[in-house]
A and B are shown apart, each in its own frame.
Chain A
Amino acid sequence: MKQFISFVKKEFHHIARDKRTLFILLGMPIMQILIFGFALTNEVKNSKIAILDQSNDPSTQALRSELDASRYFDITQDLHSYQEIEAAFKKGKIKMAVIFPARLANDLDHFNTAQVQLVADASDPNVANTLTNYATAIILDYQDRITNNRRLPYTIKTEMRMLYNPQLKGAYSFVPGVMAMVLMLVCTLMTAITIVREKELGTMEIMLVSPMQPFKIVVAKAVPYLLLSIVNISSILLLSVFVLDVPVNGSLLLLIFESILFTLTCLAFGLLISTKTDSQQTAMFIALTGMFLPTIMLSGFMFPIENMPLPLRILSNIVPAKWFYYIVKEVMIKGLGITAVWKETLILTGMLLFLLVLSIRNFKIRLA
């Protein structure tokens, strides 16, 4: 036991003395949360739009002020002819143009129907889609109000309610994603590197010719990164609750337990990599391609798994981050308990045991 403690102490020395790496390890989650929270957001806010108003009557003015008042749009330009629309798009200044035809209010009053044209820049299809949806919603809203007093025959109205995330905030989905990513990076990458570094420096050679059991070496290497990950989990949760207003709806204890389970899985994967490689570069490369990319691509965090072709959907099942991402969403955002995520928890536990057994069996007690 004394051996073990002394080994863990040594690991802490390594980490604490490499100030730059430590700074990255502890700063990375904070940076990522802040970047995802404020810069990289797929919400559409304050999009610049232009308006071509050929009618200029009370109706178009009302619509115009409704659009301008919403937080999604900023009217930055007034156009005067169709030719100007394309020019405005080409300058890249605007994302969408709203065209009111001549005599809009007149048509509405006398024919009970009028048309509004939305022209969107679809070079980014998602944004174009979102913008036209928002604009349509605002226009429909206006229509509702003016028809409020009259009875229309046969109308179906859709009532929408966004559960768990009523404001449709991006943070609700990326906080679990960033958590998966950061834990993965810190644990898998760093454990893989730290063991391989001992091989590279030749210290593993001495460690092997010592009474210290290889199993203990491996576990002692993992302990500091487990603690570091707990610090990271806390800082991510604190930031998301207090800075991004993403609440922890479920049990905090369960959330932390699941995070530690995922951390251990990542550590075990890092250990497995380290048993199979001899240079830090290879270890890093394998950790990044074997864990980081799948975490981003196949966990459902960036791209919805449901939309993927079948082979990728099947492949995504072996990515631990997918299950963790799911668990965090269920527990943190939806506020569900262990009964809702026991299956996923079991899968992660299975992965952990599998990786752990594999890496301990693969740990070389000799040099070759």
Chain B
Amino acid sequence: MNAVIVNNISKQYGKKKDLIQALKGIFFEVKQGELFGIIGPDGAGKTSLFRILTTLLLPDGGSASVDGLDVVKDFKAIRHRVGYMPGRFSLYQDLTIEENLEFFATIFNTTVKENYDLIKDIYSQIEPFKNRRAGKLSGGMKQKLALSCALIHKPSVLFLDEPTTGVDAVSRKEFWEMLRSLKEQGITILVSTPYMDEASLCDRVALIQSGEILSVDSPEGVINAFKHPLVAVKDNNMLQLLNDLQRFEGVQDAYPFGEYHHVVLKDGFTANAVSTYLQQHNYHQPDVQTIRADIEDCFIALMKTGE
């Protein structure tokens, strides 16, 4: 059975004049026990989607179900069994760690003791500070507490809206390890993130942009679908280099990517062709190497074909 089914969901905000189409009729399914990533930039519609699935918003069109329950009709039942962690830290800042956790446990008709196993790995890291107020915690600790609170009632589906935004690299890595181990316990996890590099940590990902799903696949699947040759190019004058690259007939697309420019070539062209072209244009020793596409390259390519 699928834990989450999204069927032609659409959502718009605002009145006629400045109508914003946040979700434009999207489809996807999440399998039981899957770690499913929703990857897209800010404003792509991730939060709207999460709010619809957690029964906080009503969709304007289409239907969706969580755990076999309709998000509109059975919203009360869904609220009993899902865990939700909003993008913004939303715990009580003036309560201590322990009070927050106990409060959420009672609200969900359970006790900390009952489900301690589930959160032990996460909670034990912040337990030494359990008498500290939540407002005084560091970003990473807040995140752990929020996750513990969202998990305390042993939800069947866990919704995490941008849990790693604004969290340092080490905490991010830890956080994803925690998600991995939660997945082992059979919890279906939907996580949204604007960071492309986190896509590879998911079982499957949905790439979303401007309210539309560009692709739903496993991270490898997404990358494998990238068929064009891709090279990374570097030289002293990067701006000039980009201009020159875009003028080359074999180039389908070129864009800055970290310290390199990534160049998507038309079929039949290779790194050598790029090297030759650049040398003809007074670049002495351009650094050109063939690389494997990553999720971000795929995302950019999908975005451009969408347009």
Interface residues of A (CB under 8 A from B): 2-3, 6-7, 10, 13-14, 17-18, 201-203, 205-212, 365-368
**Contact across chains for A201 and B106 when beta carbons are under 8 A apart:** no
- In the assembled complex, how far is the CB of residue A220 from the closest CB belonging to chain B, in whole angstroms? 10
- Is B42 in contact with chain A by the CB < 8 A criterion? no
- Closest A-B pairs by Cβ, 5 of them: A202-B90, A6-B106, A209-B84, A367-B56, A17-B94
- Given contacts A3-B109, A367-B51, is CB(A209)–CB(B91) below 8 Å? no
Type the 1/0 row for B84-120, where 1 means its CB is closer than 8 Å to any CB of A: 1010111111110001001110111100000000000
**B56: A residues at CB distance < 8 A:** 205, 208-209, 366-367
- In the assembled complex, how far is the CB of residue A93 from the closest CB belonging to chain B, in whole angstroms? 54
> In the complex, which residues 132-188 of chain B have their Cβ closer than 8 Å to any Cβ of chain A?
149
- In the assembled complex, how far is the CB of residue A197 from the closest CB belonging to chain B, in whole angstroms? 10
Residue from the list A10, A17, A209 in contact with B103, Cβ < 8 A: A10
Residue from the list B86, B90, B93, B107 in contact with A212, Cβ < 8 A: B107
Closest to B11 in A: A368
Main SS at interface, chain A: helix
> In the complex, which residues 60-91 of chain B have their Cβ closer than 8 Å to any Cβ of chain A?
75-76, 79-80, 82, 84, 86, 88-91
**Contact across chains for A205 and B57 when beta carbons are under 8 A apart:** no
**Contact across chains for B103 and A6 when beta carbons are under 8 A apart:** yes
**Contact across chains for B99 and A201 when beta carbons are under 8 A apart:** no
**Contact across chains for B84 and A18 when beta carbons are under 8 A apart:** no
**Contact across chains for A209 and B82 when beta carbons are under 8 A apart:** yes
- Given contacts A202-B86, A366-B57, A367-B56, is CB(A207)–CB(B91) below 8 Å? no
**B95: A residues at CB distance < 8 A:** 10, 13-14
In the complex, 27 of the A-B residue pairs with CB atoms within 8 angstroms, ordered by the A residue number, are: A2-B106, A3-B106, A3-B107, A3-B109, A6-B102, A7-B107, A10-B95, A14-B94, A14-B95, A201-B90, A205-B84, A206-B86, A206-B91, A206-B104, A206-B149, A207-B107, A209-B54, A209-B56, A211-B79, A211-B108, A211-B109, A212-B107, A365-B75, A366-B56, A366-B57, A366-B58, A367-B51
- Given contacts A6-B103, A10-B103, A211-B80, is CB(A368)–CB(B57) below 8 Å? yes
Closest to B133 in A: A17
- In the assembled complex, how far is the CB of residue B162 from the closest CB belonging to chain A, in whole angstroms? 13
Closest to A205 in B: B86
Residue from the list B51, B89, B92, B107 in contact with A6, Cβ < 8 A: B107
- Is B192 in contact with chain A by the CB < 8 A criterion? no
**B103: A residues at CB distance < 8 A:** 6-7, 10
**Contact across chains for B55 and A211 when beta carbons are under 8 A apart:** no
Query: A6 vs B109: C-alpha distance in the bound complex, in angstroms?
Result: 11
Closest to B54 in A: A209
Q: Other than the known A206-B86, A366-B56, what 11 A-B pairs have Cβ atoms closer than 8 Å?
A: A2-B106, A2-B109, A10-B92, A13-B94, A14-B92, A17-B94, A201-B92, A203-B91, A206-B90, A367-B56, A367-B57
Query: A3 vs B108: C-alpha distance in the bound complex, in angstroms?
Result: 8
Query: A270 vs B106: C-alpha distance in the bound complex, in angstroms?
Result: 26
Residue from the list B55, B89, B90, B108 in contact with A366, Cβ < 8 A: B55
Residue from the list A2, A203, A205, A208 in contact with B92, Cβ < 8 A: A203
**B76: A residues at CB distance < 8 A:** 211
Query: A365 vs B90: C-alpha distance in the bound complex, in angstroms?
Result: 18
Query: A212 vs B88: C-alpha distance in the bound complex, in angstroms?
Result: 21
Closest to A367 in B: B56
Query: A211 vs B99: C-alpha distance in the bound complex, in angstroms?
Result: 19
Closest to A10 in B: B103
**Contact across chains for A202 and B92 when beta carbons are under 8 A apart:** no
**A13: B residues at CB distance < 8 A:** 92, 94-95, 99
Type the 1/0 row for B242-286, where 1 means its CB is closer than 8 Å to any CB of A: 000000000000000000000000000000000000000000000
